[in-house]
Amino acid sequence: MNDESAHDPHTGCGSCHCGPEETPQSGPAIPRRFFLQGAIAAFAALWGALAAYPLFRYMTTGQEEPVGADVKSVNLGKASEFPNNSARNFQFGRKPAILVRNPQGELHAFIAVCTHLGCTVQFSSEKEDIWCACHGGRYDLNSGKNMSGPPPKPLTPLKVATVKGDIIVSVA
Ligand code: FES
């Protein structure tokens, strides 16, 4: 038996100071319980921030500023290039707005601020209406009337005219 066989790298040999072999670690170990608590706290904070965002937007987007305070009309280009059953979100001054062309070819425009908590609404070609992704509010495509979900009142309408082939949206 030679002396080297007595040096077990995992337990040490007991006759010298070689000791158990140390394994490299990437840092201090975090107990699983603390990791899970941290992950849950981070998830709760993220969830809270997402839930509060529409209210924050409602309070900071100047909802009370009258439509047309900073712009009276906008030109959205050729009507002939705007197909039926489609929509376009655009800026009407500082406010988001939406122009829709229903399946029958009629044009309608609204301020695209949801009357619930102020999220920006979108067109749904599938359901042929306007909807809000925040809490599922739905509005009529032609009138902007609130049809279902939490929105308490209709979208603010804008006036749409076709002038020399161009779509002109202005304050109603
Ligand atoms: Fe709640 Fe639009 S912000 S339904």
Consecutive 10-residue runs of the chain (172 residues): their mean pLDDT? 46 48 55 75 72 63 72 95 96 96 96 97 96 98 97 97 96 92
pLDDT of 28 reads 60
Q: Is 119 in the pocket of ligand 1 (CB under 6 A)?
A: yes
How far CA 115 is from CA of 7, 31, 36, 97, in Å, comes to 78, 47, 39, 13
pLDDT of 97 reads 97
Ligand 1 centre to CA of 125 (Å) is 19
pLDDT of 10 reads 47
Pairwise CA distance, residues 18 & 169, whole Å: 84
pLDDT of 40 reads 77
CA 46 centroid distance within chain? 13
Torsion angle, alpha carbons of 83, 73, 69, 106, to 10: -40
**Residue with CA nearest ligand 1 atom 3:** 117
Ligand 1 centre to CA of 119 (Å) is 6
Q: What's the one-letter identity of residue 162?
A: T
Inter-residue contact 123 to 72 (CB < 8 Å): no
Q: Is 134 in the pocket of ligand 1 (CB under 6 A)?
A: yes
pLDDT of 46 reads 73
Q: Is 151 in the pocket of ligand 1 (CB under 6 A)?
A: yes
How far CA 167 is from CA of 70, 97, 106, 142, 144, in Å, comes to 19, 14, 12, 17, 19
For residue 91, give the nearest of 62, 107, 112 by alpha carbon: 112
pLDDT of 80 reads 95
- Positive or negative, the CA dihedral 110, 111, 115, 119 is positive
pLDDT of 158 reads 97
